[in-house]
Structure 1
C-alpha cells in the first residue's frame, strides 16, 4: 500500500492510497481459507470443499467485502499515521475503472480541525442580571392558577344561561337526521363564551334553563379536522341538565389543599421557586451570550468550511420552517433570503465558538460521565415510538458521529459552567423587561459583522441573535469513517422537538362538536 498526499491547503487535505492487485488477491485468498471450513457442498465432506470451488461460488461477494474492508482499514491507518483530526467524515472514492485483478486507487478528501492556541480564560468578567421575585408577582401567578381552577355552583332553576355560565349537557349530533360517530356526549361541561365548541354552537345556548331540551343547527368549519364533517351542516339534540354560575375562588388554605399542598405558605413558596426558575433561565442566557461574545472577540482562526456548511444547513432549515408558518410565507422567505450571508456568518461564528469551547473543555479536564451519556441517550430515545427506541439506542452506540452530536450540547453547557466558575461575576438587579431587552439587544448579541437593520423593518421569522446564541461545540474531533458504504439511517421520530422550544403535544381527541 502506497500513500501520496495530493492536497495541503489551509485545513484541506487530500490523499491517494494505492493498493496493489497482489495485496487484494492475498487478502481474498486469506478470506477463502478462513471460510472454507464452513462451506457445505453436495459431494464433499464438511470442510473439504476445494478452495477453487469456494472462490467460484463466493468470489464476487468476497471480493466486494475485501475491497470495502481494505478501504476502511487504509483510511483508518492514514488518519493514525498522519495524526489527522478530521472535522467531518472524509470523502472517500474508488477509481471508476477499478476491477478485480487491477490496482485500487482510493482518494481521500477531508478538512482537519484547526490548531488552536491555548485559549485565554483568565480575566473573564461577567455581569449577572438578576430578577428578584416580588410578592406582587407571586400574587399574580396565584391569581392565574385560581382563574384556571374555577369552581361552579348550581344556579336557581329559573336562571337563564349567560356568557360565563357553565352548562352540563347531553347532546347527540346528526347529519341529515342520522347520528354520526363522535357526535354524542353525556354530562359534558361547557362554559358559554369559551369558544370550546364549533362556531355557532355556544351562541344558540345562551338563555337556556336547566331541564330544557333544544335542537340547534350548526355548520362545521371547512378546515375541520374530521374530513367527513368539514363544511357539513349538522343538528344537535341537546338536553340541559344544569346551569351553573362561577363561584368565588379564594386563594386561602383550602385552595392550597385542593391542589394537594399542605398550606398556602407552601403554595406561595412553590410559586416563588417556579418564577425564580423561569427568570434564572433568562439570566443564564444573558450571561452565556456575554461570555461567548468575549471569547469570540479574543480568538480568531480558520474554521473548516464543511462544518460551517453543515451548521448553516441546520440554521437555514429552521428559518425556512418558521418562515413557512408566517402569515405571508413568501415575504418571510424573501427576507431571510436577503439576509442569507448574515446567517452564514452566524454559522461560522457558532462553529468557531464550538471548537473553542471544545478546546477549553479538553484542556481543563471537562468530561461527560458514562452515566450522564446513558441518561442523555435514554432521554433522546423517548422522542421515538416505543418500537423504535431500542433501534435508536443501537444507532447512537454504533455511530461515533451521531453520539458526538447528541453529546455536544451537554458538553458545551458543562464547559460554559466551568467558565462561569472561573470568571469574575458581579450581580445587578433588573426587571424582567430589562433582562429580555439585554438578551434581544442586537449590538450585544448579533456576532455577525453585518450592518444593523432599520428599526421599522419587519422582523425575521427567527432572531439572528437567537440563532447565534448557541455554539454547537463538538466534544472531541470527528472520528474517521468506519465504512466506505452509505451511512446507516437513524430511526425516524414522530416529531423532533425544536432546539429551544418544547415540542407541541398532539391535541387529545374530542367529541365532534368540539374544536
Structure 2
C-alpha cells in the first residue's frame, strides 16, 4: 500500500492511496487459503475444493470485502502514520476504476480527505468583561401577573336576549370552513368556545363576530396567513359559515383574599409572594440568556483561527436547509429579504463559522477544566422532552435509547450551558439595570436598543 500526500492546505490534508493489483491478488489468495479448509461444497471432499474453483466462484465477493477493508485500512493508516488529530471522520473518494480493481484487473486507487483539528490558544476567560442585564420586579409587575391569572380563570355569564357580542366576550359557536365552496379538513367544529379578541383563531375571524347575537348566523371571510402550518391552506381565502349559539359577558373579578382562595391560596398576600418568586425565576432566566449571549460574543471576539472546512460546510448546510424551508413556507425568496441569494448565503455562512468556532472553544474549555455531563443529566433532559408528548413518553425514551446521535443532540446544549456557567463564575461580570421590556427582548434586539440609547 502506497500513501502519498497530495494536498496540504490549512487544515485540509489529502492523500492518494494505491494498492497494486498484485497485492490485491495476493490478499485474495491468502483469504482463499484461509477459508479453503472449512469449505464443504457438493461434489468435493471437505477441504479439498480447488483454489481455482473457489476463486472463480467466490473471488468477486471476497475481493469486494478485501477492497472495503483496504479502504478503511488506508484511511486509518494515513491518519496514524502522519500523527493527525482529525476534526471529522476521513472522507474517501474513489480514483480510477474501482470495479476493475474488484475484478482484479487494475490497481486500487482512492483519495482520503482529512480535516484537522485547529491548534489554538484559549483566551483567559477570567479576563473577559461582560455585561449582565438585570431588571427590578416592580409591584405593578406582580399585579399585572395576577391580573393575567384572574383573566385566565374568569367566569362568564349569559348576556341578555338580543344583546350583541363585544370584544372580550365569550361566544359558543358552530362553524364550517370552505375554500372555493369545498369544505376542508379541520375546518369544522361544534360548541366551540371563543373569547373575542383573544387572537385564538385566524386574524380577522374574531373581529367579524363582534356585534353578533345569540342565534345569529354569519359568513366570516378570512385569508389564511402565508406562513400557516397547513401548506394546503396557507395564503388561501376561506369562508366560515358560523352559527352563534351563546353570547356571554365576562364576570367582574375582584382580586382579593376570596379570589386567592379560589386558586388554592389562603390570602392575596400569599398569592403575591408566590407570583413574585415565579417572576424572580423568569427574570433570572431572561438575565442569564443575555449573559450567555454576551459571553459567547466575547469568546468569538477573542478567538480567530482556521476552521475545519467539513465542519463549517456541514453546519452551513443544516442552517441553509432551514432557511430554504422557512422561505418556502412563507412563499418568499432571498430577494424578499432585501438581499441576493449569494448575500444571504454569505450571511449564514458567517453564522456557521461562528457556531463552529464557538463550539471548538467551548469544547476546549470544558476539556481543560474537566467539565463533563453525567448520565443522569442526560436522562433528566430526555424525561423533560418526553413530558412534551403526553401518552408517548415510553416511545420518546426508546427513541433516544436507540439513537446515539439523538442523545448527542440532547447533550450538546447541556454541555454548552455548563461551560458558559463556568465562564460566568470566572469572568468580570457587571450588571446593567434595564426595564422589563428590554430584559425580555431577544438578545440581538436588546443589544441594538442599548447601543442606540448610548449614542443618543
Question: Which interval holds the TM-score relative to the shorter structure?
Answer: 0.7 to 0.9
On the 8 A contact 1:223/1:231 being kept in 2, the answer is yes
In 1, distance between residues paired with 2:385 and 2:27? 41
TM-score normalised to the size of structure 1? 0.67
Aligned pairs for 1:288-437 within 5 A: 288-324=292-328, 329=333, 330-332=335-337, 334=339, 337-338=342-343, 340-373=345-378, 390=398, 393-396=401-404, 407-435=411-439, 436=441
Give per-residue Cα distances to partners, 1:456-510, cap 9 Å, x unaligned: xxxxxxxxxxxxxxxxxxxxxxxxxxxxxxxxxxxxxxxxxxxxxxxxxxxxxxx
Q: By how many angstroms is 1:206 displaced?
A: 4.7
In 2, distance between residues paired with 1:123 and 1:374? 35
Counterpart among 160, 166, 189 of residue 163 in structure 1: 166
Give per-residue Cα distances to partners, 1:26-78, cap 9 Å, x unaligned: 54445556666886754568877666544444332222122112211321233
On the 8 A contact 2:96/2:109 being kept in 1, the answer is no
> Over aligned residue pairs, what C-alpha RMSD do you find?
4.6
On the 8 A contact 1:161/1:206 being kept in 2, the answer is yes
On the 8 A contact 2:400/2:407 being kept in 1, the answer is no
On the 8 A contact 1:14/1:110 being kept in 2, the answer is yes
On the 8 A contact 1:112/1:304 being kept in 2, the answer is yes
Task: Check 1:267–1:66 CA distance in 2 against 1; reply closer, same or farther (3 A cut).
Answer: farther
| Higher RCO (CA-CA < 8 Å; seq separation 6+) | 1
On the 8 A contact 1:326/1:332 being kept in 2, the answer is no
* 2:69 corresponds to 1:66: no
* 2:153 corresponds to 1:145: no
Q: By how many angstroms is 1:139 displaced?
A: 0.9
Q: By how many angstroms is 1:140 displaced?
A: 0.7
On the 8 A contact 2:176/2:240 being kept in 1, the answer is no
Aligned pairs for 1:282-293 within 5 A: 282-293=286-297
In 2, distance between residues paired with 1:103 and 1:294? 53
- Provide the secondary structure at the position in 1 that maps to 2:131: strand
Aligned pairs for 1:114-153 within 5 A: 114-153=118-157
- Provide the secondary structure at the position in 1 that maps to 2:154: coil
Q: What 5-or-longer segments of structure 1 have no aligned partner?
A: 447-451, 456-515
- Provide the secondary structure at the position in 2 that maps to 1:83: coil
In 2, distance between residues paired with 1:344 and 1:310? 10
Which stretch shifts more, 218-227 or 138-147?
Answer: 218-227
- Equivalent pairs counted in the alignment come to 432
On the 8 A contact 1:27/1:66 being kept in 2, the answer is yes
Give per-residue Cα distances to partners, 1:299-328, cap 9 Å, x unaligned: 332223333333333444444445556686
Give per-residue Cα distances to partners, 1:209-258, cap 9 Å, x unaligned: 5xxx56x363765769798xx9787867x684x55332112333444454
Q: Tell me what 1:277 maps to.
A: 281
Q: By how many angstroms is 1:440 displaced?
A: 3.1
Counterpart among 97, 103, 108 of residue 104 in structure 1: 108
On the 8 A contact 2:96/2:110 being kept in 1, the answer is no
Q: What 5-or-longer segments of structure 2 have no aligned partner?
A: none
TM-score normalised to the size of structure 2? 0.74
- Provide the secondary structure at the position in 2 that maps to 1:334: coil
Q: By how many angstroms is 1:5 displaced?
A: 2.0
In 2, distance between residues paired with 1:174 and 1:327? 22
Give per-residue Cα distances to partners, 1:86-143, cap 9 Å, x unaligned: 2333331233234233432231122211111254233333332222222211111221
Structure with bigger helix share is 2
Q: Tell me what 1:15 maps to.
A: 15
In 2, distance between residues paired with 1:239 and 1:127? 54
In 1, distance between residues paired with 2:261 and 2:176? 38
Task: Check 1:438–1:103 CA distance in 2 against 1; reply closer, same or farther (3 A cut).
Answer: closer
Aligned pairs for 1:123-272 within 5 A: 123-156=127-160, 158=161, 160-164=163-167, 165-168=169-172, 187-191=191-195, 206=211, 208=213, 216=217, 218=219, 240=245, 243-260=247-264, 264-272=268-276
Task: Check 1:426–1:153 CA distance in 2 against 1; reply closer, same or farther (3 A cut).
Answer: same
- Provide the secondary structure at the position in 1 that maps to 2:358: helix
On the 8 A contact 1:129/1:283 being kept in 2, the answer is yes
In 1, distance between residues paired with 2:402 and 2:151? 47
